[in-house]
Amino acid sequence: MGFDFTGKRVLVAGGSRGIGRSIALGFAQAGAKVSVCARGAEGLAPLTAEGIAHVQATDLADAAQVASWVDAAAKTLGGIDVLVNNASGFGAPDTEEAWKRGLDVDVMATVRASNAALAHLRASKGCIVNTTSISGYAPSTRSPAYAAVKALVINYTASQAAMYAPDGIRVNAVAPGSIEFPGGSWEKRRTDDPALYNRILKGIPFGRLGEPEEVADVALFLASPLARWVTGQTIIVDGGQMLT
């Protein structure tokens, strides 16, 4: 069954590559008018040729730029039905810099974009989909800052769902496992750190890493009428990676 988002207005934060790009294109291909922001303008330009209605270079760690993007997108699209908070600062180690990147982008950009879009979402009785990670479900010695901020997003998703339910707004999240795509971190690790790559690969029952489109399909489901009675949930999309 295909999705039909004809006439819907969708914002995707962090949508120039990987999972975010697949989510944005998935909505556009299903008929939605889509706005995408990301820090690098070079990754945004090709999206307009693929059906994305509005793009804006945005540093999601900057509160004013987040608000500017949401406002411009809402004006261009004529409102907001769906907000996808997908951006990550990828702050991994236990350092001040990594913690700041994760808190600024993974957490506060989610808070700020949601708050900036809230009036529009109330008007449309729309929904929010946050992207977190299976890293948020377990401690990590390799990426403690990343794991912690993703756990925070899981918790905040449930809080948002409770806060916004009286307004008719649903809030859910997707928690991807290890996803591989051109230019992504796992493609780089395949050659730069094959021991880690192969250890992760062996831990996935299906014998491969995931693809961005497999996460995008779940994000679109959560934003669709098929999930109209689903809120406050984080859906794991990892091919069974957490089972081992």
Task: Tell me the catalytic residues.
Answer: 146
For 128-185, the DSSP string reads EEEE--GGGGS--SS-HHHHHHHHHHHHHHHHHHHHHGGGT-EEEEEEE--B--TTSH
Q: What does each C-alpha distance from 170 to 14, 22, 209, 237 come to in angstroms?
A: 21, 21, 30, 19
Task: Please say whether the beta carbons of 83 and 77 come within 8 A.
Answer: no
* Distance spanning both ends of the chain, measured CA to CA: 31
Q: How far apart are CA 112 and CA 139, in angstroms?
A: 27
Q: What does each C-alpha distance from 134 to 33, 138, 154, 181 come to in angstroms?
A: 30, 8, 10, 18
